[in-house]
Structures are given as structure tokens and as C-alpha cells.
Structure 1
């Protein structure tokens, strides 16, 4: 049985515009993590003071999503969210479940979230939209987003087409919108949190690092692979499809990159990146011939802690860094 901590957050609050908007204690949002983010992970992150999220991708049916939502509520009464990948699967019935269950927050990744945001109007559900730069951020704010998460080139899974890094994207997005902004991509510890706040972000959205925690619904070989990933062990695939994504370099990604380099038909490449390829890594622990979405921040990860322990560690490290910098400025 998965071990997880439901101990309420005990450190002093770290308050920002994002924590006030989302109703959380610390400005740390766990990424959607398709197939990986289930109730145990979301509940542990939220109980620790961050915002945990369930991944609709990998659940698929209203009954399964509803069951996971209710499992989270057995773990904690703190706010949590549900992540939806727009354009990758039908989500209309799943959004209905979120409305019926009165979940605190919803996040949208990829595609055009505007029609789904309209359906949530007046519900009180906070809406987070992931973007890759200022142009998308402006559109998301105009569509009704409450919070923006800008994900840089360093991130795992689906990233933007411009190769814009987190260091540059955060200030650009922050100055382009009037709502809270989270920094995503390349963030895995308290130094990343402190750096994001220094750049003007109101918090962080962390994906890859939450794969390598005890509560993540991922095979132990996948978690171990994250911890063992080096600085040059990830690659960007699917550029030829216009939907680039970063994954662990292995035999499967070599096959995908070769197909792209050879100009293979779109359908042939799509067949290599279907959900079953990701399932082989997540569920079966097939790290060589499965598709394992991993960001560059995996190189920073050195252990597999509890999710709540990771949240508190990040907050403590960030506070220590800010104190040290304050002393250096005197």
C-alpha cells in the first residue's frame, strides 16, 4: 500500500497573490502529470499546504474521476484541483463531474480552454491555464483564467513551440497580465521556488519532481529513472507535429526522433506517441521502450521523499535562501 502523509502543513504561511486566489498555504502547485496524479498524490500535496491535482488523463470516465475526487476528500479537506488536457480527449462529461463535486480548482493544458472556462463561470471554481508565453497568457486572461502557469522549455511533457526558457518567460508573462502567475519548467526544489519569486512569479507549478515521490501513481522504475536522470538525458520529440514535448531519452524516443528526421507520415509518428506508450513507462516500468515524460529538472532530484515532505522542504529551502540573500544585501 502506498504510504503518504496527511499531516497538516506546520510551517508559517508563504503568502502571495496565488495562495490568496487558490486558498492554499504555500505557492506550490503540483502538475497535472497524466496517468500519475491520483488521489494519494493530490491529497498529500494539498494536505501539506500546496495545491494537489488529479489528472483527468488516465481516468477517462466520469465515474472514475468522481471516485478519485472523493478519495482525495478522505485524505484532506484542503483545496485541490483537476487537470484537463484540452484537445487530447473528450472532457465535457468530466468537467460536469468537477462542477457537481464542487472541486476548488481546475487547470487546462493545451488547446483552447475558452469553451470550458465558459461552462465554469459562476461556479466559484478557480481556473488555472498553462501557457508557454505572453501571447497565450493574454488570451487566457481574456478568456477568464484566474491564474496563469507559464511553462518554459526546460519542462517535461508538452512544452511551447518557441523554446522560451522559464527565466525569460516569467517576467514577460508577468508584465503582460494582471492575474497571478506561476513559474513552471526546471523547478524541483526550494532554490527554484525562491528564484521564481525573485523573477516576479506568484508561485510555482512543479511536475517532474512530483513523479519521484512515494505517493505518485508510477512504477518504481519510473521514479528511480527520474532520480537517475542526468543533465543531458532528456530530448524534445514531436516538433514535426507542432506539439513538442520533453521526455526521457531512451530507445523509444530514438525511434520517434528517427521517424521525424526521415519525414515519416504524421499518422505513423502519432502512433508512436499514443497513450499506450506512456502507459508502458508509468504502469509497467518499461523505461527503454516506453514513453516517459521527464523535464530537465529531473537532474536536480536526488531522492524519493513523501510528497508532503517535498513541499515542506521546498518552503524551508526557499526561506533559508531569502534570508541569506537579505543578509548579503546589508
Structure 2
């Protein structure tokens, strides 16, 4: 078993977190991850109303007695979102782990602290991680450029971002972006992280509530099959490279505005992909980690395999490279 500051903080068996994915972070997936020893995450805004979130939390509790969390992404929206009500439901229902993203969670920190909630804030840069630490979050999820969804605007990959974060952050943190197997977990730990967050890898699992065609598209895809959209708008998002996302990128790169691509990138079209399995129906999020996803296991089998492989890499392969003998002297 791999014990880290993160597993100790949250009382979980393995340092693996399921990303809070819109339309995907539902009870069956979150419970499966938690039952396997990781940390499952419900996505609050997947639920149409705060009361729907309450029902999903209760449904998850029927499926697992292990810790699980709720993701709350706080962003400006065209239609106002009752963020305060979603937060109140999570706290009232006794959720002990909340993953925040988007806006600074500082306004909610007193409430979280009062109720013993552990806060994990998602960041895409060291400076944002340090700000989150300063407002009192308990841990950070640091997202490298490889990640699905919003990688920020700095374009720093995990190989640099993770150790840079480790050099400055005092609280525990997990690494996100490009993780999908035991090699990645071992690497993240070696670079200074206390665990990993995986989104795309959990899309290609038996319990993921998406169409099998999408899961197979992820298995068939490579690290070259994503595209960065909204770059000219400074709101970069990494998505699957299909006809829809490619058209949107071309429009924006040629001087178009968001209004010119809104019909292409509407969330309803992305949800249609997951529901119908038509991978060309809209823009949908997935990361470069597609290049190392080769099967569709259960969450239990996936997490067990990742942890076992990471332990073997650490204890056998890497340890076997260390010699206690002094280096041989070169001949003169």
C-alpha cells in the first residue's frame, strides 16, 4: 500500500482521485472509485438543482461506505448558478471532502472549516497553488498542460510543474494531467506529489456513465488526438479532435468570436456525445493520456493494477538501480 500525506489527510487507501467531470461524476462511478480505495467525486453542477445533488449524494451513500467528495466549479455563467445553495447541500449532507475549481474558494472557507470539510483546490500554476494555500485549503490538485479540460494559459507540462510546486507548497498536493497507469503514479510521487488525479482514464472504465462508443474511441485514440480550443479567448480547453472542435478552432483562429462558435461548442452537444455515442455530435473533453489507455477495466481492477505496478516500479525496478558499491576508478 502506498501511504502519503494525501491518503492520511482524507482517510483513503490509495493516492488516486477521480476527476470531477461534468456529466460523468455520478453516483455509480464515484462509488466504484471509492470502493476500490481511491476517492470518488460527484460533480455538483452535473445536477440540475441543489436538491438533485442532495439525492445523488444519498444515492452514492447507498453504494459505498467509503469517503467520497463533491466537485464545485465556480465560474461566471450566462445564467446565474446558485453556488451557495449547492455548497449548503453538500455541507448539510455531511460531505467531508470538497474539490473546488475556477474561482478562489476563500468566501466559502469559514463554512467549510466550521463543518470539518477538507478542501482540495484545482490549480494550473504554482502561483495559484500558493494563493490557495494562503486562504486555507487543505490540499491542491495541480493540473499540467497535458490535462483534459482547462489547462490554463501557461502551457507548463507536469514534468516541470509538479516539482516546481513541490519546491514551494507546504500542504499536500496531487498531480493531474496525463496520468493513467502505475508508471505515472510512481513518477508523480518521485516528482514530489502526494498522489494523482485521473479524469480521462476513468472515462474508459466499465462504471463510467457514458456510451461504449466513446470509451472505445478513447482506447483507439492516441496522444495526437486532442486539440486546444478557445486559445484566442484566453480560456483554453483541451478536447477531442473531431470535425466540430476542429471547425471551432479554425473559426476562432481566423478572428472569430465566441458567438461564432457557440452553436458548435454548446454543452448540450457534448452531452449528446456521451449519451448517444456519436463522437462527432459535439465537442467533448478528453486528455492526451488517450495515448496510453488500451482497455476498459472496472474501477477496482484499474486502481489495483495502477497501485500494484507503481509499487513494483518503486521497490523493484528503481531500487534495483541503486548500488551501494563505489564507482569503479577509470584507468589512467
TMscore range, shorter length: over 0.9
Within 1, Cα distance between the matches of 2:90 and 2:176?
A: 24
Partner of 2:45: 57
Residue of structure 2 aligned with 1:14, choices 2, 7, 11 = 2
The correspondence for 1:41, drawn from 16, 29, 43, is 29
Q: Which residue matches 1:237?
A: 229
Distance 2:166 2:152 in 1: 17
* Corresponding position of 1:70: 58
2:151 aligned with 1:163: no
Q: CA deviation at 1:231?
A: 2.1
**Contact 2:265–2:282 (8 Å) recurs in 1:** no
Distance 1:121 1:316 in 2: 35
State the SS of the aligned residue for 1:157: coil
Q: 1:4 is matched with which residue?
A: none
TM-superposition CA deviations, 1:247-292 (whole Å, max 9, x none): 1100011111011112112333344333112212122222113112
Cα offset, 1:211, TM superposition: 0.4
Aligned-partner Cα distance in 1 for 2:165–2:289: 21
TM-score (norm 1): 0.93
Calculate the TM-score normalised by the size of structure 2.
0.93
Q: CA deviation at 1:121?
A: 2.4
Counterpart for residue 202 of structure 2: 210
2:304 counterpart of 1:312? yes
Q: Which of structure 1's runs of 4+ aligned residues deviate more than 4 A?
A: none
C-alpha distance after superposition, 1:32-77 (max 9, x if no partner): 0110111011001111111000111321311211111111111111
Q: Does 1:198 align with 2:190?
A: yes
- How do 1:47-196 residues align onto structure 2 when only pairs under 5 Å count? 47-87=35-75, 90=81, 91-196=83-188
The reply to whether residue 284 of structure 1 matches residue 305 of structure 2 is no
Query: What's the Cα RMSD here?
Result: 1.3
Secondary structure class of the residue paired with 2:252: helix
- The partner residue of 1:24 within 12, 36, 47 is 12
Take 2:278 and 2:230, find their aligned partners in 1: how far apart are those partners? 20
Instruction: Determine the structure 2 residue equivalent to 1:329.
Output: 322
Q: Name which one, 1 or 2, has greater alpha-carbon Rg.
A: 2
Q: Structure 2: which 5+ residue stretches go unaligned?
A: 324-332
Distance 1:97 1:295 in 2: 31
1:298 to 290, 294, 299: 290
Give 3-state SS (helix, strand or coil) of 1:283's partner: helix
Distance 1:230 1:251 in 2: 17
CA contact (8 A) 1:280 1:291 kept: no
CA offsets per residue over residues 75-124 of structure 1, 9 Å max, x none?
11111001111115522211111000011201112222222334322211
